[in-house]
Structure 1
Amino acid sequence: MADPSTYSVNPARTRPRGPWWFALLSRVLEPWVRIKRDPAEPSTLLRADIPVCYVIERDGVSDALILERACREAGLPSPMQPVPNIPVRRRRAMFALARREGWGFGRRQAALPKEPLNRLVHALEAMPHQDVQLVPVSIYVGRAPGRESGWFRVLFSENWVVVGRFRRLLAVLLNGRDTVVHFAAPVSLRQVLDDAGDIRAERLTRKIARVLRTHFRRIRAAVVGPDLSHRRTVVDAVLNAEPVREAVAATSAKEKIPYAKAWRRAHDMAMEISADYSHPVVRSTSFLLSNFWNKLYDGIAMHHFDKARAAAPGHEVVYVPCHRSHTDYLLLSYQLHQSGVVPPHIAAGVNLNLPVIGPILRRGGAFFLRRSFRGNALYSVVFNEYLAQLVDRGVPLEYFIEGGRSRTGRLLAPRAGMLVMTVRAFLRAPRRPVLFQPVYIGYEKLMEGKSYIGELTGKPKEKESLLGLLRGLKVLRQRYGHVTLNFGEPIALEPLLDAAEPAWRQTTAVPDAKPEWLSGMVDNLAERIQVNINRAADVNPINLLALALLATPKHAMAESDLLAQLELTKALITDLPYSDRVTVTPSPPAGIIAYGEQMGWIRRVRHPLGDVLMAEGEQAVLLSYFRNNVLHLNATAAWVACCFLNNRRMSRSSVIRLGRIVYPFIQGELFLPWDEEGFTGQMQATIDFFVARGLLETSGEGRLLERGPGQDDGAYQLRVIARSLLQAFERYYIAIAALVKNGPHTLTAGELENACTLTAQRLGMLNELSAPEFFDKALFRGFIQKLRERKVVWTDDEGKLDFAQALEGMVDDARLILAREVRHSILKITPGGAEPRDPPPPALKEAPVQDVASDLHQRHVVNEEERHHPTHLP
C-alpha cells in the first residue's frame, strides 16, 4: 500500500501561484522532488477563517518551491500570495529566519531578517480584531539516504550546515526524492501580543524569533540528529567561558602581551583541539569502511551490545575500550553507526593530526590533544573547558585510559587524566548522569604486531607520518581473521561519587575545585574500568593455541596432546566462568588447530608416530601477544598448577595460604575482579575441578593434594597450565631478590626498576626467551608500586628503599614455586652484594616436598628433554 502522506503532482488539479519564472522553475523541479508531509493532512492544524503566514528555517528558492508545492498538494493557502486582510507591504505569505548567501560550498548565513515580523506585529497592533497564524515549516532534503543510494549522495544529505545555493541545488537533484516537509502547529500572533502586555514591538519580535529558532533546532535534532558541528557551536562557548577568559588575562599579564594576542592564541588552541563533526562525512566514511573491513577481516562480531544500548538513554556515555591497534576507534565508531547509535567523539593524540588524514578524522568526530599539558596553563584550561562543553551538551565520548596502545597484549596501567577532566566537568554541571562503557576488542592478528616487538626489544617508536602510513598500506594485502567487540558491564559515576563523598553535590559549580577525595575516587574508577574490560574478554582460537603452545620450550606439541590441552582449557573457562560476559569460540579443538594452520600461526610437521604442531620463530613471539589477551582468565588455574610444578604433594591449606599472599600482585598486574575472599573461593573451585578431572588426587579427608608422577598425562597438563603464569613469579622473584641482595637503604625505586629490567633482559638472552614482555619495565614498576602499597617496602628519608622482614619470607616461599636452577640463575645474575640464602626445604607435616626433575622422562613427541627442563618459558 502506498504511503498516504506521499503524493505525486496532478497538473490538472491546480497550478503554481506566483511569478511566471516561479511557475517555470516549479515545473522543472517537479520530476526531481518527491514530498512526504508530516503530518499527512496539515490542514487539520489550521483555522480556515484566520490568515496564514509560513515561517521557514532558511531562505532559498528551492525551499520556497518545495513549500509552495507541499501547500498546493495539501490544499493549504499559497505562500506565494500576500497575507489577506493584513496591510503589510509583502508579496508573499512566508519569510525565513536565516538567509543563504553565495553560490559555493561555504557556510554562509546572513543576519536574521526581522522586518517581516516587525511589520506583522505593527499591523496587528493597529488592528486589534485581526489575527495571523504563524506556521513553522521545516524542510529536509535527503535527511537519511539508504545504503542503496550510494555514498556520493550522502555527502549532500541534510545536516546542520547552512550551505550555499549551488550545494543546495545539488542536494535537491541528488536527494530530492527523499524530501520531508514538517508542518508544526500554528502560533496565534494575536495571542502572543495579548500575552506580551506592555512589551515593545521590537523586543517582542526578538522573543518570537528566539522561540522559532528553538523550535526549528528541536525538530532538526529529531530528524537529522543533534548539532555536533563543534567549530560553530562549541569553540565560541569555550572562549567565552569564565575560566578561559581568566586564563587569557593571566597569560597576557604574565607574558606582557596584548590581551587580543593571548586571545588569538587560545582561539588557535581551541581550533587545534576541536572536532568538526560532519554527518555526511561519517555516513560516506561508513560506506568506504564497509569495503575496507571486508578486505581486511573475515568478520566483525559484537556481543552484549543490546545491554549497552538499553543502559545508555538519559546518560552521557563515555566509551572506554582497551587500546591494541590504530583500528580500534574506527571499528567501534563504525559498528555503533551501523547499529543506529550516534558515533562518539574520540580523543586522539595530536600525532594523528596528519595532512589529509587529520581533517577526515576531525570530521569523523576526533578531537586532538597534546601528549603533555605540563608547562602550558592556557592549553590545559582550554582543553578542560572544551571537554566540559561536550559533557554538558551530552555528546558521547570515547577515549583510551591506557594512554597508548598495549605492546604486550595486557591491559596497561591506567592514566587517569581524561577521567579526572570528565569527572570535574560533571561536577561543575551535573545535569546528565555519566555512564562509562568498557569495551573489550579482540583480534586474531594485528597489523602492528612486528613493530610492537621491535619497540619492546629497544627499537625507537616510529613517528606517525603520512609517508609512513602510505608505506604501511602493504599490510592490507594480508587477512587478519575475525574481530570481536564485547561490551562490558557499564559503570555509573554517581554511585562512586556517593561512596567517596556523600556531600559531593555541594562541591559542584566550582570549575577549579579539587577535593581531596577526587584522586582516590578516580583511581577506583580507572581500576573498575580495566576490571570490567577484562570481564568481557573474548577467547578466540588464536588465544587458546597461544596458551598451549607457548608453554613448551620449542613451542611444539604432539597433536594428541594439543587436542587434549585445548579441550581442558575450554572446559576451565566454561565450567568455572570468569564472568557472564566472557565469550568463547564454539570451535572444537580440531577446528581450532585447523584454523590456526589456515591463519598461518602454526605449522604441522608430519611424523609416522603422530603429527607435531609448532609455532616457529617470529610467529611464536607474536603469539605471546594473544596469550596475554586472556592470561587473566587462566590466572587462578595457573596459580594452583604452579604449586605442583616442583612439588608432588601439598596441602590444600598451603595452596590457599600462598595464593592469598601472592594474589594482590597478580591482581594488580592482570586487573582481576575478586577480593582475597573471592580469590580463595576461586582457588577452592579450581582445585575441585582439577580433582574431578583427575589432574589431582586428594587424601586425608581432602586436606592433602597430590599430582601424578612427571610422566603422567595429568601432570603434563598441569605444567602447561602453570607455565602461562610462571614468568610473573620469576619477575617477582627478580625484584625481591634484588632488594634483599642489595640490602635496605641501598636502592631507590628507579634504581631497583633498572636493575630488575637488566636482570630480566640478561636472563632472557641466556635462555632464548621469546616473550618480550618478560623484561617490560612497566611490569616491574607496577610490582614495586604494589609492594609499597602493601607496606612491604617503603622509602626512607633519603629516597632509598627499606623493607620488612616479610620480604625475606617471600624469598623463602619462592622455593615452593620456582625450580632451584631458576632461583640460582636469578640470584647469580642480579647485581648487588651477597646472595640471599636459599634455605633447606621446610618439612611439611602432610607430605614431603619433591622436585619435579626426579619425575621427568622422555615422552613420545619431539624435543621432550627440553619440554620438562625447569627453565624459563615464554
Structure 2
Amino acid sequence: MPDMTADSSARSRAPWWFNLAGHLLEPWVRLRRDPAEPAGLLKPGVPVCYVIERDGFSDALILDRACREAGLPSPMRPLPGARRRRSVFALVRRDGWLFGRNRHRAPNETLGQLVRALEGDPERDIQIVPVSIYVGRAPARESGWFSVLFSENWVMVGRFRRLLALLLNGRDTVVHFSAPVSLRAVMEESGAIPPPRLARKVARVLRTHFRRIRAAVIGPDLSHRRTVVDAVLNAEPVRNAIAATAAKENISYAKAWRRAQKLMFEIAADYSHPVVRSASFLLSNFWNKLYDGIAMHHFDKARAAAPGYEVVYVPSHRSHTDYLLLSYQLHVSGVVVPHIAAGVNLNLPVIGPILRRGGAFFLRRSFKGNALYSVVFNEYVAQLIDRGVPMEYFIEGGRSRTGRLLAPRAGMLAMTVRAFLRAPRRPVLFQPVYIGYEKLMEGKSYIGELSGKPKEKESLLGLLRGLGGVLRQRYGHVALNFGEPIELTPLLDQASPDWRAYAGNPDAKPEWLSGVVDRLAEQIQVNINRAADVNPINLLALALLATPKHAMAESDLLAQLELTKALVAELPYSERITLTPLEPAAIIAYGEQMGWIRRVRHPQGDVLVADDEPAVLLSYFRNNVLHLAATAAWVACCFLNNRRMSRASVVRLGRIVYPFIQGELFLPWDAEGFGAQMQATIDFFVRRGLLESSGEGRLLERGPGQDDAAFQLKVIARSLIQAFERYYIAIAALAKSGPHKLTAAELENACALTAQRLSLLNEQTAPEFFDKALFRGFIQKLREQRVVWTDENGKLDYAEALEDMVRDARVILSREVRHSILKITGDGDRDAARAEEARAAAPQPAPAPLPDDAGSADLHARHVAAERHAHAHEAGTVVAQEKPGGGEPPA
C-alpha cells in the first residue's frame, strides 16, 4: 500500500519556503483528481517517481498537495536508491523568470540515472507515474470574461502568466494520474540497449503520452494555423497540383505556390482555445435570451463510443444556429469542439474570423473548374483526419427549407473516406445528430424562398439588422439527440476485404468507393431520423394541418394528441426517439403560449385555430417528424375513400409504394420490415377501435364518415396524402406526354408548376408541395425501380408498370383530386380526364377496395379476387399487365 505517512514526511523533507508557498496557494486552488482515488493504480512496496509534463514551481506545489490528499508518497521525498533529492522530474524545462520564454527539452540524465540505479540490483524496480496538470479546463462551469484568456492550452507560458492563470482559474484545476510504468519491465523488454539510448526511448514515449492526454482534454494542437498550412503545401499531391497549374497557365512555380497558399488561408481554421472559451461565455447568455432550454439525449452513449476513433459529427441542418449549438453543448460537456465545414458565404467581415478561430473552415459551393482548389481542400481534410481532429459537417449541403432531411450531397463524405483509405491509422466514427426546434428564426425566409422569392445573400449588415428582431422573441426548447454511430471500417470490409491495399495512395479511387459513400450517406440520414425528438409543436402541427381550415374542437384535438402520443410510444420507431412528457391539455396550453395556435371561445366548446401564417410555418415542424407517422398514415390513407379493405391488400400495396416513401423520408426498414410495421400498426388501430377486424383478421373496416374514429383516421392519413398527390402528378404528367417526349428536367419543371397551380386552387399551406427537389427524388426513385429510364436521346421512356401505378392511385386518391390533377397536367385536356373517368368506372383486376355500400356477399367475392391478384405480384415490386407490344426497360 502507499505510504500513509506521506503528509508528515513531505512536510519534514520539503523546504520551509515550499511549505509556506503551498499554504499561500491553497485558498486559490481547488483540485479535482482523475481518477479520484489514484492510490489503487500503484504497486505496493515499489518506489514511486512522478514525471510531470512541464517544469514549474506551481506544478510542484499542486502535485505535492494532490499526492498528500490522495494518500500517495510525496514527490518532495528523496527517491530511495537513486541518489535523487526529489521523487519528481519534468520532461520540459523553462529558463527565465517573470516573462521568460526561452525553453529547451529536459536532458535525459534523470531517466539515465534511474536506469543505472536498477542495473546493479535485478530485484529492484521503480514505478514512473505520469501526472498531467491542467489549470482552467472545466468547461461545464461558467467563467469570467477575463479568466478565459488564461485557460489551459498548448503554449508553454511564462511564470507570470501561469501565476495569473492560477489566480483566475485555479479553482478549475485537474490533476490526472496515469497508470504507472514499471521501469524494470521496460528494461527487460528493451534487451541490451545502453542506458542513454533507453532513456531517450522512455522520454519519447512519455512525451507521446502527455500529448495524447492533452489532446483528449483540450483538443489537438492546432493553435497555429501555419503548422497545418505548411503541412498541406508540402504534401506531395499539392506539390504536384502546383506544378501542373504552373505548367498549364505558363506561370512560375513560385506564383502557383503563392496561389495555393492563398487558398489554404481562405480554407483553414485558426482554432483558438481562448476564443472558444470566450464564445462559450457569450453564448451562455445568448441562449438564455433565445431559448427556454437546450436538452441533449443519448450523449453519454455517444461519448462512450468515441474513445479511440476519429469522430465526425454529421447533424441535420435546419438553422444557422446548428453550428453554434452543437459546438457549445459539446464544449460545456467537456468534449473537444470539432472543426466545422462552413460555406464560404459565412466568411463575413468580423464574423468570419471569429468562426474561424472557433474551429470553422470554409469551403466553396463548387470545386468545378479549379483543380488546384480541389487538391488543396482534399489535402486539408486529410491532414485533419490524420491528426485526429474531430470534424463536423452537414451532408445535406444546405439548410432544409421544408423541415425534411434533404437528399445527401456526399462530397465531404467522399473526401473523408478517401483520406482514411490513404492513412488508416485511426478508425473513423460518424456520429449522426438530430437537432429539433420549436420555432426557427429563419422560418419566414424559408417560406418565402419556397414560394419563389430569391434567397437573400448573407451580409454583416443583414445579420446585425436581423439580430435585433431575433432577440425580441422566444424560441422555446431545443433538443440535440445523438443517433446510433456508424463505423466506417465495417462498411469498407463489406465492400472490399482488401481495401487496406490502397493505404498510402492519395489518388486511389476504387470502383466500389462511390457505393460505400452512397450507403454511408443513406445510413447517416436514416440514423438521424431514428433519433428524432417529438416536441409539442410537432404534435400540434400533425393534428391541425390535417384539417381544411386548420381548426379543431378542443375535445377533438385532445383526443388526437393522445392518439398520436400513444402511436409513437406503443410502436417505437427507434429506441432513441424521445417524446414530450406533456399531457395533451398542457401541449395545447404550450402551443398558445408560443403563439402557434389561437383559442376561439364558443358556448358549445372552444376551437383551436392555426392562423394562415403560423399554419404555413407549422408545416416545417410537421415535416420534422413525418417519418414517424408514415406507416400509420399509409394504413389510414387506404381508408380515406374506402370503408372496407382486406389486410393483405393494405400490406401488398404498401410494399409497392414503400420505396418511394422510403426515399423521401429515409425510413429504416426493408420491404419485409415495413410489412411487419404495417401489421403492427393495423393491430394498434384495431385495439384503439379505429378499425374493426373480421374474417379471422383478414378483413378491415372503418366506421362511417361521421364517426369519431373515422375522423381520427382521416387526420392521420392527411399528413401523408400530399406525397401521394405529388406522385400522381408526376406519373400523370409523364403518361399524358407519352414516351420519348420529356427529359427528366422538363418533367420535374412541369410537375412543380402543376403542383403550384393545384396548391393555389386548393389553398394548401405546405410550400414543399411544389418543391422541385421532392419531384426530382421521386423521378430518381422511378429510375431505380426500373419503371422509368432514359433513352439514347435523353428522353424518358417507361414500362407498362406506370399504367398500373395510375390505376392503383384510385385506392388512395379521390376521384375529384385525380380529375383536378389530370385537368391541370393536360392543360384542360378533356380526353385525358375522360380516360381517367372511364378507367375508374371499368372493372379492374387490381386489388379491390370495398365501397361503403358493399354487401357481405360482394365483400367476400372482392376479397377472394384481391387475394388471387396479390399472388400474381412479386412482393415490393410493380408488375405490369401483359399487353401486346408492352415496353420493357433495357437490361
Q: How far does the alpha carbon of each residue in 1:620-657 deviate from its partner, in whole angstroms, 9 at most, with x for none?
A: 00000011111111111111111111122222222222
Tell me the secondary structure at the aligned position of residue 797 of structure 1.
coil
SS in 2 for 1:318: strand
Task: Identify which range, 592-601 or 404-413, moves more after superposition.
Answer: 592-601
Per the alignment, residue 627 of structure 2 pairs with 632
What CA distance in whole angstroms lies between the structure 1 residues aligned with 2:562 and 2:520? 36
Whether 1:696 and 2:685 are equivalent positions in the alignment is: no
In the alignment, which residue of structure 2 is the partner of 1:865?
A: none
- Residue in structure 2 matched with residue 643 of structure 1 by the alignment: 638
**Given the alignment, which residue of 126, 135, 147 partners 1:142?**
135
SS in 2 for 1:389: helix
> 1:243–1:511: 8 Å Cα contact kept in structure 2?
yes
2:582 corresponds to which letter in structure 1? S
- What is the aligned partner in structure 2 of residue 840 from structure 1? 840
Letter in 1 for 2:476: G
Q: Which amino acid aligns with 1:297?
A: Y
Q: CA deviation at 1:533?
A: 1.0
Q: Which residue of 2 aligns with 1:830?
A: 825
Determine whether 1:538 maps to 2:528.
no
Distance in 2 between the 1:851 and 1:438 partners? Answer: 46
Correspondence for 1:263: 257
What is the aligned partner in structure 2 of residue 710 from structure 1? 705
1:504 equivalent to 2:499? Answer yes
1:504-653 to 2 correspondences below 5 Å: 504-653=499-648
CA 1:492–1:219 in 2, change beyond 3 Å: closer, same or farther? closer
The amino acid that maps onto 1:550 is L
Moved more, 743-752 or 354-363: 354-363
Q: Could you give the per-residue CA deviations for residues 552-605 of structure 1, whole angstroms, max 9, x where no partner exists? A: 111001111111111121222222221222121122211111111111111110
Count of residue pairs brought into register by the alignment: 814
Q: Which residue of 1 aligns with 2:244?
A: 250
Answer whether contact 1:154 1:280 (CA < 8 A) is retained.
Answer: yes
Corresponding residue of 1:484: 479
Q: Aligned pair in 2 of structure 1 residues 140, 744: CA closer, same or farther (>3 Å)?
A: same
Q: Displacement, 1:297?
A: 1.4
1:442 maps to 2:436: yes
Distance 1:571 1:185, change over 3 A: closer
Q: Which position in structure 2 is the counterpart of 1:88?
A: none
CA distance in 1, matches of 2:850, 2:32: 85
Alignment counterpart, residue 784 of structure 1, candidates 760, 779, 784? 779
Distance 1:722 1:157, change over 3 A: same
Structure 1 pair 340–842 and aligned structure 2 pair: CA distance change class (3 A):
farther
Aligned to 2:165: 171
Q: 1:178 to 1:329 in 2, by over 3 A?
A: closer
* Alignment match, 1:862: none
Structure 2 letter corresponding to 1:824:
H
- Counterparts in 2 of 1:689 and 1:289: CA distance versus 1, 3 Å: same
Q: Contact 1:555 / 1:614 at 8 angstroms: preserved in 2?
A: yes
The 8 Å contact of residues 6 and 36 in structure 1, kept in 2 or not, is answered as no
Range with greater deviation from structure 2 (369-378 or 662-671): 369-378
Equivalent pair of 1:98/1:112 in contact (CA under 8 Å):
yes
1:818 aligned residue:
813
2:736 aligned residue: 741
| Aligned residue number for residue 148 of structure 2 | 154
Say if 1:479 and 1:269 are closer, same or farther in 2 by CA, change over 3 A. Answer: same
What is the alpha-carbon distance in structure 2 between the residues aligned to residue 7 and residue 621 of structure 1? 74
Once residues 28 and 264 of structure 1 are traced to their aligned partners in structure 2, the CA distance between those partners, rounded to angstroms, is 56
State the shift of 1:523 in Å: 0.7
Note the C-alpha offset of 1:339: 2.4
Please give the alpha-carbon distance, in whole angstroms, between the structure 2 residues aligned to 1:67 and 1:521. Answer: 50
Provide the TM-score with structure 2 as the length reference.
0.81
* Aligned-partner Cα distance in 2 for 1:574–1:36: 45
Q: Is the 8 A contact 1:300 1:484 kept in 2?
A: yes
Match for residue 660 of structure 1 among 650, 655, 659: 655
Specify the SS of the correspondent of 2:802.
helix
Q: Structure 1 residues 766 and 45, CA, compared in 2 at 3 Å: closer, same or farther?
A: same
Is the CA contact (8 Å cut-off) linking 2:644 and 2:852 kept in structure 1? no
Residues 149, 689 of structure 1: alpha-carbon distance in 2 compared, 3 angstrom cutoff: closer
449, 470, 477: which one aligns with 1:475:
470
Cα pair 1:5 1:36 within 8 Å, conserved: no
Would you say the 8 A contact 1:32–1:176 is kept in 2?
no
CA contact (8 A) 2:13 2:77 kept: no
Cα distance, 1:34 vs structure 2: 5.8
1:75 deviation in Å?
Answer: 4.3
Aligned to 1:317: 311
1:719 and 2:728 aligned: no
1:162 and 1:206 map into 2 onto residues whose CA distance is 22
**Identity rate of aligned residues, in percent?**
75
Residue 730 of structure 1 pairs with residue 694 of structure 2: no
Name the CA shift for 1:797/1:178 in 2 (closer, same or farther; >3 Å): closer
One-letter code aligned to 1:573: V
Output aligned runs, 1:197-208, within 5 Å. Answer: none
d(CA) in 1 for partners of 2:634, 2:51: 72
Would you say 1:425 and 2:422 are equivalent positions? no
- Out of 310, 326, 338, the position equivalent to 2:332 is 338
Instruction: State the distance in 1 between where 2:658 and 2:240 align.
Output: 49
Letter of the 1:682 partner, please give it.
Answer: Q
Q: In structure 2, what is the Cα distance between the partners aligned to 1:66 and 1:814?
A: 75
Q: Secondary structure at the match of 1:441?
A: strand
Unaligned 5+ segments in structure 2 are: 68-73, 121-125, 854-891
Offset at 1:800? Answer: 0.6
Q: CA–CA distance in 2 between the matches of 1:848 and 1:317?
A: 51
Q: Give the alignment partner of residue 455 of structure 2, picking from 423, 443, 461.
A: 461
Q: What is the CA–CA distance in structure 2 between the aligned matches of 1:440 and 1:753, rounded to whole Å?
A: 30
Report the CA distance shift for 1:366/1:29 in structure 2 as closer, same or farther (over 3 A): farther
The letter for the 1-side match of 2:393 is Y
Mean alpha-carbon deviation: is it higher for 441-450 or for 464-473?
464-473
Q: Hey, what does 2:678 align to over in structure 1?
A: 683
1:314-366 CA-to-partner distances (Å, cap 9, x unmatched) read: 22221111111111122222222222222222111122222222222222222
State whether residues 59 and 98 of structure 1, in contact with CA within 8 Å, keep that contact through their aligned partners in structure 2: yes
- Superposed CA offset, 1:471-495 (max 9, x none): 1212122111111121211111122
Contact 1:136–1:186 (8 Å) recurs in 2? no
Shift of 1:232: 5.1
| Partner residue of 2:488 out of 488, 493, 500 | 493
1:405 to 2:421 alignment: no
Find the aligned partners of 1:831 and 1:157 in 2 and give their Cα distance: 69
Separation in structure 1 between the aligned mates of residue 779 and residue 8 of structure 2, nearest angstrom: 74
Contact 1:755 1:831 in 2 (8 A): no
More deviation, 218-227/637-646: 218-227
Name the SS of the counterpart of 2:786 in structure 1. Answer: coil
Shift in CA distance, 346/221, structure 1 to aligned 2, threshold 3 Å:
closer
Please state whether the residue corresponding to 1:427 is helix, strand or coil: helix
Amino acid at match of 1:486: N
List runs of 5+ in structure 1 lacking aligned partners: 18-22, 86-92, 853-874
Q: Which amino acid aligns with 1:398?
A: E
Task: Indicate whether 1:280 and 2:274 are aligned.
Answer: yes
Amino acid paired to 2:816: E
Paired residues of 2:558 and 2:585 also in contact (CA < 8 A): yes
Q: State the distance in 1 between where 2:311 and 2:260 align.
A: 28
Is the CA contact (8 Å cut-off) linking 2:218 and 2:336 kept in structure 1? Answer: no
Match of 1:808 among 790, 798, 803: 803
Which amino acid is 1:606 matched to?
R
